[in-house]
């Protein structure tokens, strides 16, 4: 799987919670807001459902960046899933930086179901951040 340097486009895996962030992304879509197409969405019921190993596995499988987004604190459909997740995410954000993986690659955010434009702006920012740090090669198998 090789791409020439000029052609490279970041591959970003986005874990979006069903009730807020995924709906917000959907709203961006039906509103016909243009935003970078580098994001591959995985819908989860709640940001609290996200096992930190998912983020690690995404990076190890070749994702250049991982975006995780849930409901704003206080607005979780399951009351407190995002609050449980917030602590995990705080540790994870530091964790990847601790071993030298660029912090721009793993980002966390809150996007509500009404925030179509905000989701688009979020993807713009994350795609640009990941583009700047280049293809991820740290956790993937070296190609033969």
Partner 1 sequence: MSDVQGELRKVVGDLLEQGKVDVVLGFEEGTRPLSASPCFIRQAERAAELVWNPCCSVNVAAYLPRLFTPDPRLKEPPPPPRVAVFCKGCDGRSVVGLIKENQVPRENVVIIAVPCGGVIDRDALTGRLNGAEIAKAKASADKIELTDESGKKHTVKLNDVLSASCRECTVRVAPVRDVLVGEAGDEPKPAGDGSHRLESMSPEERWEAFRREMSKCIRCYACRQACPNCYCHACFAELSSPRWLGAGDAVEDVMFFHLGRMIHQAGRCVDCGACVRACPMGVDLRPFTQKLVADAKELFGFEAGLDIETPPPLTVFKPEDPQEFITEPG
Residues that bind partner 1 (CB under 8 A): 52-53, 56-57, 60, 73-74, 80, 83-84, 86-95, 97-102, 107-110, 118, 121-122, 124-126, 138-142
Residue 34: CB minimum distance to partner 1, A: 15
Beta carbon nearer to partner 1, 19 or 88: 88
- Cα distances from 94 to residues 12, 33, 37, in angstroms, run 19, 32, 27
Residue pointed to by tokens 């704003």: 72
Q: What is the distance between the alpha carbons of residues 61 and 69, in angstroms, rounded to a whole number? A: 20
Beta carbon nearer to partner 1, 7 or 75: 75
Beta carbon nearer to partner 1, 41 or 83: 83
Closest CA to 55 of 46, 45, 41, 65: 65
Beta carbon nearer to partner 1, 6 or 119: 119
CB 85 within 8 A of CB 92: no
Residue 63: CB minimum distance to partner 1, A: 14
């Amino acid at each position: 799987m090789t791409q020439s340097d000029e052609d490279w486009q970041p591959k970003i895996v986005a874990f979006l919670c069903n009730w807020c962030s995924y709906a917000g992304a959907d709203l961006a879509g039906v509103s016909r807001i243009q935003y970078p197409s580098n994001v591959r969405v995985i819908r989860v019921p709640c940001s609290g459902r996200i096992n930190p190993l998912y983020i690690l596995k995404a990076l190890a499988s070749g994702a250049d960046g991982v975006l995780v987004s849930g409901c704003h604190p206080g607005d979780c459909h399951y009351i407190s899933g995002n609050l449980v997740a917030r602590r995990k995410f705080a540790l994870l954000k530091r964790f990847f930086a601790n071993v030298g993986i660029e912090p721009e690659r793993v980002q966390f955010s809150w996007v509500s179901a009404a925030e179509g434009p905000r989701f688009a702006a979020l993807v713009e920012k994350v795609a640009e951040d990941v583009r700047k740090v280049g293809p991820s090669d740290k956790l993937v198998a070296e190609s033969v």
